[in-house]
């Protein structure tokens, strides 16, 4: 059924061939465009994972051996191209180590049409990369690959122009073509940084720290962060982030003997890239890097108290007002029981307005906002049926309450094997879309027919089926003849 292709990088891999235009009802199709997704495949935190330009949607995901793969869909004639391997990660090559998935690719297309992906990093390796001046190490090597030709996904080269320590890559292209790359510069106890390119990604300026990791005053842990960035209006970038209590092993508040997923609060900042000014929601200047004390004083959007957080996307509406979504609950990430809520907050010019309990379900995805209309496209497990559903959740009152809209895709039964930690832990919020499904953020400049990438892990399989889902459901692909 599948054809075999060999790309420039010399790696042989299996892919589904491009289909003929406008499949008829008699053609055999699949609702997924690839079936070699691996690990999580995609995640909201690494974004964007795809872009629509000139009538073609380009998508990236993690494939075999945790390497990055890229495919493309032509909306005019209904054909798929690829997927092609776009780089080689140092993650995923040791069969004795568990799947990492922190190296999933992030994609951006520059003004000349060259396709860039950033992939493979989870903090770097001290033996391979030396000291990390902005934090610690874990594994992997952050890499930057670019297509050899504009809008061509068949051949790639590594540029080796970003530090190896990055993870959680998030890329933004401004209206003037400047590219900003945001990421955590190392393992948990590391600064979050950004790098700027003014020459279509051929070179990047040195990393600039914007969130500071340092020892806590009580000396039983370190300040750490998780951030989500997106383009604001005009020359602005907006950043939402939460605080990670990175306790020392054996610290009084850490009863697990090691790394804890405890996070608290939601914060907001904005970056005027034209004037190189950082500020809070009211325009008060923020000096970089932002420390925990400064964040609490000037950038706090939501104080969650004893409730834990798992931050989602942050963006602005057409008037420039910021919106933040997050998951808030008890002991998020480890405790299978306990209430968890998908929360949404918006700045109304005077304060942050929202409710932890608004009817929005737990799921992974992204949102659109247009005035009082807020629409989430989420992938999550329906507790009534144990099936994964991908669909819209809609609000007409600025996110104060939500109701279910159209379901675009449904598959599988979510099954948990008793005593199997690999399957039971994903039921917690930190991995809530594994093994059932994983979701990307919205495709950049998304076509309505192709808004989001969904990765399904069928029961018993080590591979994921990759879907491109839009308002009419998944974009189908012709099967190759047997």
CA distances from 406 to 131, 195, 389, 391, 402 (A): 50, 39, 10, 6, 13
Q: Name the residues annotated as catalytic.
A: 102, 168
pLDDT of residue 477: 96
198-227 pLDDT, tens digit each: 999 999 999 999 999 999 988 888 999 999
Q: Are 73 and 450 in contact (CB under 8 A)?
A: yes
pLDDT given for residue 79 in this prediction:
96
CA–CA separation, 454 vs 467, rounded Å?
5
Q: Using CA atoms, how far apart are residues 176 and 201, in angstroms rounded to an integer?
A: 13
Residue 255: predicted pLDDT: 55
CA dist., res. 395 & res. 468, Å (int): 24
pLDDT given at position 18: 37
* Residue 424: predicted pLDDT: 29
Cα separation of 374 and 393, whole Å?
8
How many whole angstroms separate alpha carbon 29 and alpha carbon 19? 9
Side-chain-side CA neighbours of 209 within 13 Å: the count stands at: 18
What's the rounded Cα separation, in Å, for the pair 367 and 443?
Answer: 12
- For residues 230 and 221, the answer to whether their CB atoms sit within 8 Å is no
Q: Which residues of the chain fall short of a pLDDT of 70?
A: 1-26, 251-259, 331-340, 413-436, 481-482
Give which of 332, 327, 333, 323 is closest to 311, Cα–Cα.
327
Per-residue model confidence (pLDDT) at position 13: 31
Query: Residues 275-304: pLDDT tens digits?
Result: 999 999 999 999 999 999 999 999 999 999
* pLDDT given at position 461: 85
Q: Quick one: pLDDT at residue 180? A: 98
Q: Which has the closest alpha carbon to 190: 164, 206, 211, 216?
A: 211
pLDDT of residue 258: 56
> Based on the number of CB atoms within 10 Å of its own CB, is 118 exposed (0-12), middle (13-18) or buried (19 or more)?
buried
Cα 189 to Cα 215: distance, rounded to the nearest angstrom: 9
Residues in the chain: 482
Give all domains of the chain, ordered by start, each with its CATH number.
Answer: 3-478 (2.130.10)
Strands of 373-382's sheet, edge to edge?
A: 364-370, 373-382, 387-395, 403-411
């Amino acid at each position: 059924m599948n054809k075999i292709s060999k790309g420039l990088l010399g790696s042989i891999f299996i892919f589904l061939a491009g289909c003929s235009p406008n499949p008829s009802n008699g053609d055999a199709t699949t609702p997924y465009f690839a079936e070699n997704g691996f690990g999580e495949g995609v995640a909201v935190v690494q974004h964007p994972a795809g872009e629509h330009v000139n009538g073609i949607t380009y998508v990236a995901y993690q494939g075999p051996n945790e390497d990055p793969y890229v495919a493309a869909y032509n909306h005019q004639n209904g054909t798929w191209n690829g997927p092609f391997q776009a780089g080689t990660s140092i993650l995923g090559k040791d069969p004795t180590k568990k799947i990492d998935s922190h190296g999933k690719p992030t994609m951006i297309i520059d003004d000349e049409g060259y396709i860039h992906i950033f992939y493979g990093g989870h903090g770097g390796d001290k033996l391979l990369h030396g000291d990390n001046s902005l934090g610690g190490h874990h594994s992997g090597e952050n890499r930057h690959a670019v297509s050899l030709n504009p809008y061509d996904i068949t051949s790639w080269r590594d540029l080796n122009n970003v530090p190896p320590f990055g993870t959680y890559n998030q890329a933004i292209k401004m209206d003037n073509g400047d590219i900003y790359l945001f990421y955590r510069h190392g393992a948990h106890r590391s600064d979050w940084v950004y790098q700027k390119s003014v020459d279509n990604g051929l070179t990047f300026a040195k990393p600039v720290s914007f969130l500071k990791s340092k020892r806590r005053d009580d000396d039983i842990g370190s300040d750490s962060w998780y951030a989500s960035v997106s383009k604001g209006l005009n020359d602005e970038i907006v950043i939402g982030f939460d605080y990670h209590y990175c306790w020392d092993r054996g610290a009084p508040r850490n009863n697990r003997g090691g790394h804890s997923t405890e996070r608290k609060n939601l914060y907001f900042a904005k970056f005027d890239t034209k004037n190189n000014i950082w500020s809070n929601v009211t325009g008060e200047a923020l000096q970089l890097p932002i420390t925990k004390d400064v964040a609490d004083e000037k950038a706090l959007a939501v104080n969650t108290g004893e409730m834990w957080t798992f931050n989602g996307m942050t963006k602005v509406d057409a008037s420039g007002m910021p919106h933040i979504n997050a998951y808030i609950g008890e002991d998020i990430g480890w405790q299978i029981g306990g209430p968890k809520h998908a929360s949404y907050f918006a700045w109304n010019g005077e304060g942050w307005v929202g409710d932890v309990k608004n009817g929005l379900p737990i799921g992974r995805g992204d949102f659109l906002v247009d005035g009082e209309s807020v629409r989430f496209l989420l992938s999550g497990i329906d507790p009534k049926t144990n099936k994964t559903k991908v669909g819209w959740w809609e609000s007409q009152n600025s996110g104060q309450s939500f109701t279910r809209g159209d379901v675009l895709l449904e598959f599988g039964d979510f099954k948990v094997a008793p005593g199997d930690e690999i399957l039971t832990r994903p039921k917690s919020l930190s991995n809530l879309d594994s093994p059932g499904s994983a979701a990307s953020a919205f495709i950049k400049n998304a076509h309505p027919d192709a808004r989001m990438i969904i990765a399904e892990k069928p029961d018993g399989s080590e591979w994921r089926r990759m879907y491109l889902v839009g308002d009419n459901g998944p974009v189908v692909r012709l099967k190759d003849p047997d």
